[in-house]
């Protein structure tokens, strides 16, 4: 299996959404009514999505089902695709996969089309909670593709105990010094220290952020590394004993070493969502809506859960999973209620720069 580097991000780029030009918004388009009887075979579609995050033959499958000639291009990070979408009034992209807070920011800038729900009947397959996400209540501009949380991924044989707190990572036992890793992406770098102190993952309070920054600087000498892509491999090799990890990526370690475990610390964590959006500049909106509807088919979403090993917000798909798969990968069994005990990450507008600054200060500290 090739694992997707879909959550990788570049420090500072989240705030790049603040630089969206007035031209991009002004030229976005007029929200025209869509034709439910449109001949989709006369439309074409360009979809941008993270590599290795979808069936290899997805374009061919969709084209066979609808007649829409489809091209799929890959982006590596949220920042990668956002930069492309905001560089001009027409990026050439019809459907873009972005994480929830980015969909929120793009929607607020007028760059996303409102979804025509009459053309997306498969939305009914979603959990009701999937229409109550803070970054886009009611799924006006986006439909969720996958979701999850963040926690501690660890080897019990190496830690000697089951961690329960972010402080187990922030202030590790002496025998774990040099055997832990943290994520370096801005919102996820800050999260353990914020949650350990009882603060929101979306806080913009200067004092709370300063407290988190001080803790992260104190923690830094105890780390093996900051690692956003190979942390699970370090667990498998034994180089690391405990890492901060997205739940789906912990599964990649479990696939190689079933003794690896995952836990959401008692202080809580985040609820992240990857979404599908339609660009306002698209001239193929009926085909774009049909594509999103196709993705929300239970069979397609079941493939995602079974092969990407991430939870999907599609209730019909999750209920179709083999119980043996849930036994092998317990994070897939995290319930919707448990997931919604965590905080939904939202866009913070100009205050996103505070996280960029925190990230830069921590990573630059010797």
Classify 277 as helix, strand or coil. strand
Alpha-carbon distance 58 to 38, whole Å? 22
Neighbour-count burial of 349, counting CB atoms closer than 10 A to its CB (0-12 exposed, 13-18 middle, 19+ buried): middle
Query: Among the residues of 275-339, which ranges form H helices?
Result: 285-295, 298-308, 315-319, 323-328, 336-339
Helix/strand/coil percentages in the chain, nearest 5: 45, 15, 40
Query: Which two three-digit tokens encode residue 313?
Result: 């917000």
pLDDT per residue over 77-88, tens digit each? 888 999 999 998
Q: Are 307 and 4 in contact (CB under 8 A)?
A: no
pLDDT at 88: 83
Which tokens go with 128? Answer: 């009701």
Give pLDDT, residue 33.
Answer: 84
Both structure tokens of 257 = 């070493």
CB contact set of 334 (below 8 Å; sequence gap of 6+):
148, 149, 247, 264, 311
Cα–Cα distance between 229 and 344 in angstroms, integer?
A: 22
- From the centroid of its chain, how far is CA 123? 19
Stretches where the chain sits below pLDDT 70 are 1-32
Whole-number pLDDT of residue 32? 66
DSSP state of 311: B
For 276, the token pair is 């599908």
| Tokens found for residue 243 | 């890492």
The secondary element (H helix, E strand) that includes residue 153 is strand 150-154
Q: How high is the pLDDT of residue 14?
A: 38
Question: What's the rounded Cα separation, in Å, for the pair 61 and 24?
Answer: 33
Residue 89 has what pLDDT? 82
Q: Checking phi first, is residue 52 left (phi over 0); if not, alpha (psi -120 to 50) or beta?
A: left
């Amino acid at each position: 299996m090739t694992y997707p580097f879909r959550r990788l991000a570049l420090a500072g780029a989240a705030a790049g959404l603040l630089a969206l030009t007035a031209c991009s918004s002004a030229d976005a388009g007029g929200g025209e009514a869509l034709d439910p009887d449109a001949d989709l075979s006369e439309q074409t579609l360009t979809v941008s999505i993270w590599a290795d995050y979808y069936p290899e033959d997805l374009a061919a499958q969709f084209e066979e089902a609808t007649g829409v000639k489809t091209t799929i291009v890959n982006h590596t990070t949220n920042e990668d695709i956002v930069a492309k979408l905001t560089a001009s009034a027409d990026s050439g992209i019809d459907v873009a996969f972005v994480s929830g807070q980015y969909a929120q920011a793009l929607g607020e800038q007028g760059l996303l089309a409102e979804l025509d729900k009459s053309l997306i009947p498969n939305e009914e397959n979603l959990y009701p909670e999937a229409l109550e996400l803070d970054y886009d209540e009611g799924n006006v501009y986006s439909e969720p593709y996958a979701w999850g949380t963040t926690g501690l991924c660890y080897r019990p044989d190496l830690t000697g105990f089951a961690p329960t707190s972010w402080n187990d990572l922030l202030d590790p036992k002496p025998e774990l010094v040099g055997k832990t890793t943290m994520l370096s992406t801005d919102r996820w770098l800050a999260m353990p220290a914020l949650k350990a102190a009882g603060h929101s993952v979306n806080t913009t309070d200067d004092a709370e952020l300063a407290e988190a920054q001080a803790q992260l600087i104190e923690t830094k000498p105890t780390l093996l590394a900051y690692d956003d892509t190979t942390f699970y491999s370090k667990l498998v090799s034994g180089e690391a004993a405990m890492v901060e990890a997205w739940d789906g990526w912990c599964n990649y370690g479990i696939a190689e070493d079933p003794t690896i475990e995952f836990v959401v610390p008692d202080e809580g964590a985040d609820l992240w969502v990857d979404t599908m959006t339609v660009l306002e500049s698209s001239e193929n909106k009926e085909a774009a809506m049909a594509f999103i509807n196709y993705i929300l088919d239970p069979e397609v979403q079941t493939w995602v859960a079974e092969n990407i090993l991430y939870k999907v917000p599609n209730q019909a798909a999750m209920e179709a999973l083999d119980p043996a798969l849930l036994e092998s990968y317990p994070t897939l069994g995290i319930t919707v209620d448990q997931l919604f005990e965590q905080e939904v990450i939202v866009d913070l507008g100009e205050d996103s720069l505070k996280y960029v600054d925190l990230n830069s200060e921590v990573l630059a500290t010797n």
